[in-house]
A and B are shown apart, each in its own frame.
Chain A
Amino acid sequence: MVKNKPALKLLSENGCDVKSNIVRMPSGLVEEALSKVPSSFKLYSREGKQAYTVGGDNVIYNPGSAAIFFLDGETEEMRRATAEDFRDLVRLTDALPHIHAQSTAMVPADVPEDISDLYRLYLILKNSTKPIVTGAFTIEGLIDMKNMLEAVVGGPEELAEKPRAIFDCCPSSPLMWSDVTCQNLLDCAEHGIPAEIIPAPQMGATSPVSIAGTIVEANAEFLSGLVISQLANPGSVVIYGGSPSAFDMRYLTARLGAVESVMAACASAQMGKSYGVPTHGYLGLSDSKAVDGQSSFESGMGILLAAMSGVNIVSGPGMQASENCQSLEKLVIDNEYCGTAYRLIKGITVDDTTLAAELISKVGPGGHFLAEKHTRENLRKERFMPTDVLDRLSPDAWTKAGSKDTMQRARERAKKLLKEHTPEALPKASEERLETVFKKILTRRRVTANQLPVL
């Protein structure tokens, strides 16, 4: 079902069977769309200096979105997220080495609803150079956000040539495209913006309870979006996304941390790979409300399996309470798991140097390897170096250091990074252009400066 007129027109003109808003697509059209969509693309940092390949088995982690709650690190209370919380999350993400992209991860409560989608992008552009995973809440929202990005990078050609942001366009399971998200998809295609098509089936509720059936349904949703996008502009970048959850039949919640959800997200990405399309998954999040054992296990499971499945864009770190809450502490902990996952997929290097047969006989029985050049030379290649967020102390040293648990250590690291890390400032010319565009948007939407939070 497609609830968007321009898309219906496009589909009907191209041989689809359209009855009111129910669309049936000929298989040839789907195959043609698959033959046109790029298998990979490059996503750039704010100033276009760094390029990240989205495709193959590359993995890019970014914070999950869009949470309305924030876990206050001081009080450990889950409360509505503010613009200041979000700015902190952006700066922290900018500082964390294993989270390679930003995301508009929260909906701040203290920003007028009309502009809350684009205000988040504004905060990211001012506080980080990392590439961005985002999305709009309205049709106009996407166009305004595109204009803001163009202002920062210097124009539409530059943005289309070197995309800085991916926009999420989500079908509504089962088998529907709303007017807004479908128009977002069309606008992405028209302006050369990479679109991430993310079906979010709740297994047992909005898709079959079986994982296989859920993948069949989500795949149909993806393919319908793919066809719409390729008809609008052949060759435009589309990402095969997924946010499946196990719908809990007792508490009516969407369990993103359930093993079935993780399996479905990874399997979905494998479908994308089989089509040769870049992939995405909501993985690395937890249903737990506290930063605790459950949150670590569920997030770690998602982060590791995402890496092993070669999911290209992994949205999840920092997020808990299903998709409802972001936490700086959890983001800091998940960053360690992401580092761990990168180490895991690097695998075990087996060659003459790493086998080290000569070295073993040289050191001989009863010797040690600590002073060997081989150890010094290979330590950093072989080992993932965690920070002190992961406890590696002796029992005595741990007691002396204050017997701190993971949450306490993560809180300290988050505070330290926020205090010490200064994000690279937006170049003067870019900033001026962004402010001009932003002011125009505010005027047009009748939002005055005093309605915005002071940061």
Chain B
Amino acid sequence: MSEEIFSELRDAVLFFDDEKARALAVKALEMGIDPVMTLEEGLAKPLREVGDRFETGEAFITELIASAQAMEAGAKVLNEEITRRGVNRKSVGKFLIGTVEGDIHSIGKNIVATMLTAAGFEVIDLGTDIPTWTFVEKVKEYEPDILGLSALMTTTMVKQKEILGALRDIGLRSKVKVIVGGAPVTEAWVKEIGADAIGFDAGSAVQVTLRLMEGS
């Protein structure tokens, strides 16, 4: 029975059907199927497949995002139940993410957050236009394994440097790995500001993050 639901959920993710994903998630709960398993098998797995196809150039970002949204629609229902039951989804690691101050772009950050969720991370999304000091405070509060800093513009990416400086000043830098992302960000920039890694796009961000986790 559960296999059938998983297969239908998979179709909902692959064919961008938010409503169907949500309805199937509700149905799975009604049938008494384990929500953690439904999330993994029915939603996260197919999204990872779309992510792989994006990496090889078979799928475009517009498809990846639409699939991610379908996954999120279903995941919302399942996560509510998971929280209600007080069980924990097995987490690969804790990831704190946000877009730096002065920058209100969110698309790149959101897709990375969803892909990381699909890869098994517990993701805490601070949103956009986040002041440097808020990042520092939240690192203290949540103690994430990895901090992700997004910046789309050449004029705001300097904030990534500022945040790394602030983490160093307060003695938190060694406690968290930092991955930076955004259109203007490069390997050289990562070196210059002393970050740990760069996520070029949604797919590579996940791989790089997993690698960082192995290293930690």
Contacts and interface: CB of A to CB of B under 8 A. Distances in A.
Interface stretch (B20-28, B76-84, B135-143, B156-164): B156-164
Contact of B154 (A79, A178, A204, A324): A324
Contacts of A176: 104
Contacts of B154: 66-68, 107, 323-324
Interface string A175-194: 01010100000000000000
A208 to B, nearest CB: 12
Nearest to A200: B153
Contacts of B61: 205, 249-250, 252
A68 B210 CA distance: 29
Contacts of A322: 183
A113 B155 CA distance: 9
A180 B104 CA distance: 11
A122 interface: no
B60 interface: yes
A204 B62 contact: yes
Contacts, number: 52
Interface string A411-444: 0000000000000000000000000000000000
A66 B158 CA distance: 13
B107 interface: yes
A343 interface: no
A147 interface: no
B105 interface: yes
Interface of B: 57, 60-62, 102, 104-105, 107-108, 129, 154-155, 157-158, 161-162, 183-184, 186, 188-189, 192, 201
Given A107-B154, A205-B107, A252-B201, 15 more contacts: A66-B154, A67-B154, A68-B154, A80-B188, A80-B192, A113-B161, A137-B102, A172-B105, A178-B102, A180-B102, A206-B105, A249-B60, A250-B57, A252-B183, A324-B184
Interface of A: 3, 66-69, 79-80, 107, 109, 113, 116, 137, 172, 176, 178, 180, 204-206, 249-254, 322-324
11 contacts: A68-B184, A68-B189, A80-B188, A80-B189, A107-B154, A113-B162, A172-B104, A205-B107, A252-B61, A253-B183, A324-B154
